[in-house]
Amino acid sequence: MSKKRYLVLGGGVGKAIAYVLAGSSNTQDVFVGDKDEKKVREVASFVNDRYPGKCIPVLFDVETSGKSVALFEEFGVIISALPAKYNVTLAQTAILAGTNFCDLGGVVEVTKKMMELNKRFPEMQVSVVPDCGLMPGLGIVIAKKFVLEMGGADSVEILVGGLPQKPQPPTFYQKIFHPEGLKHICYDMAPVLSDGDIEWVKPFQDYCQIDVLELEVFSKQFNGRVETFITSGASLAPWSFRDMGVQKFAEKTVRWPGFVDFFKTVPIHKFEQAVETYLNIPVSKDNPDLVWMRIKVKKNGDQRCVSVLDLFDEETGLTAMQRTTGFTTAVIAEMISEGKTLPGVCTPENAFSQSGLTELVERVDGLITIK
């Protein structure tokens, strides 16, 4: 098997992606591109300290380099860890270069535009896989795996959230991932599946509070109590599950109580100001984060349920959000390079065969704990 070459765009979550890919014996090298030279050099140093010579930093400004077919031709897979708004152009460039592509995605309208590339390039031989992170991504893959194993399902529910281990008022939140992603959660209409039909609902709908035993140790104030509410983080999953005969599907974001009360009062034009003022605590060993996700699939009284709990890693300095999002994306990118995905544009749950979904979950489970 020839060694694989990857280009990771973005030095945030991209740091975790490059870390996993560089650790594979099948990887020749991983280039990390960002317009912030200091950031990519830090990422390369971090990776090369562990896997010498495997990571190469490059300057990459998506506004000027995002259409560079010649650059993309040098790699087997392009991985975008940049904001979702850039991904359609990047994917198109990859297709023209004859190079596979995947991204973190997470914005419904962007992913829909990605799917339209199937019509523009009906003969494409490469794989383009948007929405490869934690959610959308891993949660949906696990859910579809369950639905297939159960021979169908009545309902699917995914609860997921990145949370500070030491929540502080007034938001009880911190800088866990890119503010643009948070903005989509707070303001975008969300697709859900109700009685077999797609419906669009406002964010924060179906609000409730639940007690999560696994989270009790992280906040004496809340004692494991969190709030959950519908958001748009499921991307095209409602359509995927509708096509499988599922009657009910919703993805709900998880936060410490108080988050919704705060952001429901923030108009969209003041969002950046609110983020800058109140979400100014970076994730660090002194203020670590966690990620918790639960996937529940039901059919005729039968139920499959698993959860993920991942924590800030003091040894590497990788945040829980970087780990769960980046590690999943890296595994998908490697499986793409191995020819285990369909050609064309497909979200992860539809890009793999049933055995591929099982392999994907098993490989991710070797990096983070799914139980």
How far, in Å, CA of 232 to CA of 106, rounded? 8
- 165: how many CB neighbours lie within 10 A of its CB? 17
The candidate with the shortest Cα–Cα distance to 97, out of 118, 128, 119, is 128
Check residue 167 and give its pLDDT. Answer: 93
| Bridge pairing between strands 208-211 and 225-230 | antiparallel
Q: CB-based burial of residue 229 (10 Å sphere; 0-12 exposed, 13-18 middle, 19+ buried)?
A: buried
* Per-residue CA distances from 94 to 75, 322, 345 (Å): 10, 24, 12
Going by their DSSP bridges, the two strands 127-129 and 55-59 should be labelled as unpaired
pLDDT in tens, the chain (371 residues): 567 999 999 999 999 999 999 999 999 999 999 999 999 999 999 999 999 999 999 999 998 888 899 999 999 999 999 999 999 999 999 999 999 999 999 889 999 999 999 999 999 999 999 999 999 999 999 999 999 999 999 999 999 999 999 999 999 998 776 777 788 888 999 999 999 999 999 999 999 999 999 999 998 899 999 999 999 889 999 999 999 999 999 999 999 999 999 999 899 999 888 888 888 788 999 999 999 999 999 999 899 999 999 999 999 999 999 999 999 999 999 999 999 999 999 999 999 999 999 999 999 999 999 98
Give the model's pLDDT for residue 49: 97
Q: What is the pLDDT of residue 261?
A: 94
The two three-digit tokens of residue 96, written as one number:
């023209």
* Closest C-alpha to 324, from 284, 285, 369: 369
Please report the domains of the chain, with CATH numbers, ordered by start residue. Answer: 4-133+324-365 (3.40.50.720), 138-320 (3.30.360.10)
pTM: predicted TM-score of the whole model, two decimal places: 0.96
For residue 129, give the nearest of 353, 329, 327, 304 by alpha carbon: 329
Q: Is the peptide bond before 288 cis (omega within 30 degrees of 0)?
A: no
* Ramachandran region, residue 369 (left: φ > 0; alpha: ψ -120 to 50; beta: rest): beta
Q: Rounded to whole angstroms, how far apart are CA atoms 107 and 136?
A: 9
Contact 204, 260 (CB under 8 A): yes
Q: What is the pLDDT of residue 183?
A: 87
Whether the Cβ atoms of residue 307 and residue 292 lie closer than 8 Å to each other: yes
Q: Which residues pair with 31 in a beta bridge?
A: 7, 56
Q: Percentages helix, strand, coil for the chain, rounded to the nearest 5?
A: 40, 25, 35
